Amino acid sequence: MSQPRSIRVPILTRVEGEGALNIRLCGSRIEQIELNIYEPPRFFEALLRGRPIEDVADITSRICGICPIAYQVTAVQALETILGIRIPEPIAALRRLVYCAEWIESHVLHIHLLHAPDFFDCHSGIELARKFPDQVKRGLKLKQLGNRILEVLGGRAIHPINIAIGGFYRLPKTSQLTDLIPELQKALQESIDAARWLGNLPFPDFTAPYHYVSLIDADRYPIESGRVAIGPDQTIGLEIFETHFQEFQVPHSTALQSKFLGTDGASTEYFVGPMARLYHNQERLGPQAKRLADELRFDARRCNPYQSILARAIEVVHAFEEALRIVQALQDGRLGGLAPRVSSEPHAGIGMSATEAPRGLIFHRYQIDDVGNVVFAKIVPPTSQNQARIEADLRLLLEQIHRDSDPSIALACERLVRCYDPCISCSTHFLKVNIQRE
Amino acid sequence: MRSESREIPYEVFGIGSAQGADQVGWRVLDRLLDPWHCNPARLHRLETPLDLLGFAAALGIDERATQTWVLLDACLGESVGKVHCWRWPAVPESALPVRGVSSHGIGLIDALRLGQELGILPEFVWIYGIEIGEPQSTESDRSHSIDWVPCARLHAAIAKCASNIASRSLAMQIASNH
């Protein structure tokens, strides 16, 4: 009879927020795997009820210090659909630009300080910096440029305050944008170099049957708009998002989990984020990012989650390419004389929006009353959607490594979880790993 | 956020947020903006210690060599309002936890260690730590923000820091002019 094994790993490092991982093994049998998010719920959806719609962007941005733009843009777009607002093209371009900056900032941080250490046998970003000072410095500079764009467009880098229903509270001067061009040109090349640095990493041999879900935007890489791709050639509109993606509660987590419900009634875990975006949209990357993906032979169909570091690196290149394209297009002064936002009169209605946060698809739905107060709000962040998939991955991994030592198992599990760049703060925070063997 | 004067490379970074006691670093910057202080330093409002490194990584070697940094941050300790001044790297980890009260789990000490490893810190880095109390004792409570206590001791500490920094930056400017 197998001896029970009980292992407790107190803290999973290098993820955003706080949670725990509980594993119970009995011989080769995996009895329990629980991504335990015990952080108290933050009740943002309830907090929004009764508030004027003008408050929504500022309140939702507080959900996350890493991806506030994703929350803000998704929120205002959902409200704009209720109000019938169509924002002018230059303002839509600025929204995309500020979103690119958030991708840059978030991805570069995760690549260089949180994820890359795993591939170079380093325990921390500090140890990685000792081995690769130039590469880490380059990463910090790239992140800083993302911050700068956020400051120019968002008013400040963290929890920006300039996104408004109908546009922005204040538009940047054209010169503020053109000043960015030389830095963006340089950063684009540096981001390509950064991706090449990661191109030959020894990725663990692990695959899983992923059901990738992301937006698909007609002719461009999806960031702030699109339909939801639920299969290789199948998309749905947002109006039936909640029919196919159902949130549910599990006893071990204060964050909701989510599963995909197919037309046949079968439910499954699904995967959102850069890997899913590239799976559905690799051909829509910018020219340089696309060439780079080909050069690195990146293929999300391999379904190896460890390659998500490459997916992020490719998306950083795309984000710089896109940012540069937008800024160059706005050089002609078309922002001059443009009202920063489209005004509107409130009226009752329901509206929804989905965008691609750095960590994956994010969905918002709001109902407002005829004076412009929120009656109902629903927010589905990426990490809570990936939670069930992370647990399924861990189960597959443990089937391979259950004979290993406890520290080795804990380390391997941490590494796998980090591939998802989970933002537990978003779904609510911190990760400890407890393994029990019986 | 910068003052008009760029005459001396004295950079002051307030690290924190608008939340609770975490805002003490920003409050000192607010005081330094008061013309009464005749403060010639450049002021920077940061929300995470990592932003400090982005600033550092973008500096040229010459700039880095001549700069003095002053970092303002909340620190843990029971004597609310007590002000510490350390010169990096002589900082007790117990006062500024390596991780636990900062986003990404990367605290000020982690960021400075990373900066040191990369060789992007100036020679003089001073840290003003203002004690804001202790977090809840249990580990699971460490991420909770420490409530802002608008007590006289904290306000006095903010004023003391601002006054001290303004005097030092002014003294440096006077010295550099002679």
Q: For residue B2, is it within any domain? A: no
Per-residue model confidence (pLDDT) at position B139: 41
Are A106 and A65 contacting, i.e. CB atoms less than 8 angstroms apart? no
Residue-averaged pLDDT of chain A: 90
Mean pLDDT of the A393-401 span: 94
Contacts of B117 in chain A (CB under 8 A): 126, 129-130, 133
Q: For residue B94, is it within any domain? A: yes
Q: At B17, is the pLDDT very low, low, confident or very high (cuts 50, 70, 90)?
A: confident
Cα of A356 to nearest chain B Cα, Å: 21
Q: For residue B83, is it within any domain? A: yes
Instruction: List CB contacts of B174: < 8 A, sequence separation 6 or more.
Output: none
pLDDT tens digits for A248-283?
888 877 778 899 999 888 999 999 999 999 999 999
Q: For residue B6, is it within any domain? A: no
Q: At A1, is the pLDDT very low, low, confident or very high (cuts 50, 70, 90)?
A: low
Are A157 and B47 contacting, i.e. CB atoms less than 8 angstroms apart? yes
Mean pLDDT of the B63-75 span: 85
Of A39, A133, A144, the CB nearest to B55: A144
Name the residue among A312, A317, A362, A318 with its Cα closest to residue A107: A312
Yes or no, beta carbons of A16 and B50 under 8 Å apart: no
Q: Which residue has the higher pLDDT, A287 or B102?
A: A287
Q: Which of A108-112, A240-244, A344-348, B160-164 has the lowest mean pLDDT?
A: B160-164
Q: For residue B3, is it within any domain? A: no
Per-residue model confidence (pLDDT) at position A429: 29
Are A65 and B48 contacting, i.e. CB atoms less than 8 angstroms apart? yes
Q: For residue B59, is it within any domain? A: yes
Per-residue model confidence (pLDDT) at position A410: 87
**pLDDT exceeding 90 applies to what percent of chain B?**
15
Looking up tokens 């380093």 gives: A122
Q: For residue B123, is it within any domain? A: yes
Q: What is the 3-state secondary structure (H, E, C) of chain B?
A: CCCCCCCCCEEEEEECCCCHHHHHHHHHHHHHCCHHHCCCCEEEEECCHHHHHHHHHCCCHHHHHHCEEEEEEEECECCCCCEEEEECCCCCCCCCCCCCCCHHHCCHHHHHHHHHHHCCCCCEEEEEEEECECCCCCHHHCCCCCCCCCCHHHHHHHHHHHHHHHHHHHHHHHHHHC
Largest Cα–Cα distance of chain B, in whole Å? 55
Range ranked top by mean pLDDT from A118-132, A353-367, B63-77, B152-166: A353-367
Of B47, B114, B120, the CB nearest to A158: B47
Q: Cα(A64)–Cα(A168) distance, rounded to whole angstroms?
A: 20
Residue A192 has pLDDT above 90, yes or no: yes
Q: At A431, is the pLDDT very low, low, confident or very high (cuts 50, 70, 90)?
A: very low
Domains and CATH numbers, chain A: 4-204+328-437 (1.10.645.10)
Instruction: List CB contacts of A287: < 8 A, sequence separation 6 or more.
Output: A321
Yes or no, beta carbons of B143 and A18 under 8 Å apart: yes
pLDDT tens digits for A38-60?
666 778 888 999 999 999 999 99
Of A18, A66, A129, the CB nearest to B118: A129
Q: At A425, is the pLDDT very low, low, confident or very high (cuts 50, 70, 90)?
A: low
Chain A residues with CB under 8 Å of a chain B CB are: 13-18, 38-39, 65-66, 109, 113-114, 124-126, 129-130, 133, 136-137, 140-141, 143-144, 147, 156-159, 425, 429-430
Residue A166 has pLDDT above 50, yes or no: yes
Q: At B174, is the pLDDT very low, low, confident or very high (cuts 50, 70, 90)?
A: low
Q: Which of B114, B141, B144, B145 to mutate to test the interface with A (most CBs of A within 10 A)?
A: B114
Of A13, A16, A129, the CB nearest to B117: A129
Q: For residue B149, is it within any domain? A: no
Contacts of B106 in chain A (CB under 8 A): 113, 125
Q: At A201, is the pLDDT very low, low, confident or very high (cuts 50, 70, 90)?
A: very high
Chain B residues with CB under 8 Å of a chain A CB are: 17, 45, 47-48, 50-51, 53-58, 99, 103-106, 110, 113-114, 117-120, 140, 143
Mutual orientation of helices A133-154 and A89-109 as an angle, nearest 10°? 150
Q: At B149, is the pLDDT very low, low, confident or very high (cuts 50, 70, 90)?
A: low
Q: Which of A373-387, B68-82, B159-173 has the lowest mean pLDDT?
A: B159-173
Q: Cα(B21)–Cα(A392) distance, rounded to whole angstroms?
A: 40
Of A65, A126, A144, the CB nearest to B114: A126
Backbone φ/ψ region at A94: left (φ over 0), alpha (ψ -120 to 50), beta? alpha
Domain holding B54, by residue range, is 27-98+105-134+157-177
B114: nearest CA partner in chain A: A126
Cα of A425 to nearest chain B Cα, Å: 9
Q: Cα(A425)–Cα(A429) distance, rounded to whole angstroms?
A: 4
| Domain count within chain B | 1
Interface predicted TM-score (ipTM) of this complex, two decimals = 0.77
Of B54, B106, B119, the CB nearest to A133: B119
